[in-house]
Amino acid sequence: MKNFPWIDEKISSIDLNNLSHALIIEGQEGVGKNQICHHLINELLSEKNSKNLIKNNSHPDLFCINDETLISYFQREDKNKLKAKTKKIPVGFIREAIDFIMLKSGLSKNKILFIDSAENLTISSQNALLKTLEEPPQNTYIIIQSNRFKCLNQTIYSRCQLIHLNNLSQEKLHNWAKEILKDKSDNTIIPNYMTPKKVSQHIEVGSFEELKILKSSLNKLFYPLDALNIDVSKGEEINKIIDLNLDFIEKLNYIIDFALSLLKNDKTKIHPVRLSDFIEQLAAFRENLLDINTLNQRYALNHLLLKIPN
């Protein structure tokens, strides 16, 4: 993944010699918060071979609570929760983590508890964590990463050093993308909802070409006549979109964002009421996706795109 300059700036401002025993790193999902967390973990567990152990999630002085370890916990403790695919972090797992950090360190001077996506902590989990934050063990650091602002018990915030990342503006995101893309025009295809992490993933796998085709086809579908006043074949452009190697939900999100930008900027001859109705239909379909047990994605996408108002 490409480095994010705004994260590098934030890291350079952190004084490791004057670090709180507990930190909350919060901000928009996909903006690069985990880079800060991993930097802190690597610096605080800096002994020989620590980096490889951290990477493999096998460091004896590091306890991670994330999607992977949460699944392992439910496999051991509550298989019904695993079937429900809950992301809630139960109090039992927090108690395990607290027991861990109370032990003497094995390899390093410090011990670390890292909680990813802390917005998923239950009330009971937060209360259990709060007791440890009030009386932390010596040489122990608790690093909490949250994708939502001010979502935890306010007393937890009062016990932690807060590293807050503001949402990245579209202009700043485009400027950053412009620096790392070979084709300087490619940044114009980045939709409003896309995070820096997602942009980096598209760059790494080379799928920006797919996004360019998607935007080009949508332009033709929302503007039925090209520059030469020749009718564009709807079916041909719809098939191009259907055949793109992008996730179904990615295509749907992009189409909604594209239509919203047209509505906002008044860049189409489609009546705003009809365009607004079309966007609402797409949004309603997206909201109900989880309730559809079997979905023919090709048919659904074809059906939705045929409804683009003229």
Mean pLDDT, the chain, rounded, equals 87
pTM of the model: 0.81
From CA 310, how far away is CA 307, in angstroms rounded? Answer: 9
CATH at 159: 3.40.50.300
Of the residues 105, 137, 164, the one at which a domain ends: 164
Of the residues 164, 193, 219, the one at which a domain ends: 164
**Residue 263 pLDDT > 70:** yes
Q: Is residue 195 part of a domain?
A: no
The mean pLDDT of 182-187, rounded to a whole number, is 61
Q: Is residue 90 part of a domain?
A: yes
Q: Is residue 251 part of a domain?
A: yes
How many domains is the chain partitioned into structurally? Answer: 2
Read off the pLDDT of residues 113-127 as tens digits, 9 standing for 90 and up: 999 999 999 999 999
State which amino acid sits at residue 288: N
From CA 25, how far away is CA 164, in angstroms rounded? Answer: 6
Same domain assignment for residues 138 and 244: no
Same domain assignment for residues 300 and 217: yes
Of the residues 131, 164, 197, the one at which a domain ends: 164
Same domain assignment for residues 30 and 158: yes
**Residue 188 pLDDT > 60:** yes
Same domain assignment for residues 14 and 147: yes
Read off the pLDDT of residues 29-54 as tens digits, 9 standing for 90 and up: 889 999 999 999 999 998 878 888 99
The mean pLDDT of 76-82, rounded to a whole number, is 72
The mean pLDDT of 249-270, rounded to a whole number, is 89
Tokens matching residue 65? 């609570």
**Residue 74 pLDDT > 80:** yes
Q: Is residue 16 part of a domain?
A: yes
Same domain assignment for residues 212 and 160: no
The boundaries of the domain holding residue 255 are 207-305
pLDDT-derived band of residue 277, with 50, 70 and 90 as boundaries?
A: very high
- Closest alpha carbon to 41 in 33, 125, 195, 72: 33
- Closest alpha carbon to 160 in 16, 23, 25: 23
Q: Is residue 276 part of a domain?
A: yes
**Residue 20 pLDDT > 60:** yes
Please tell me the predicted confidence (pLDDT) of residue 184. 56
The mean pLDDT of 236-260, rounded to a whole number, is 93
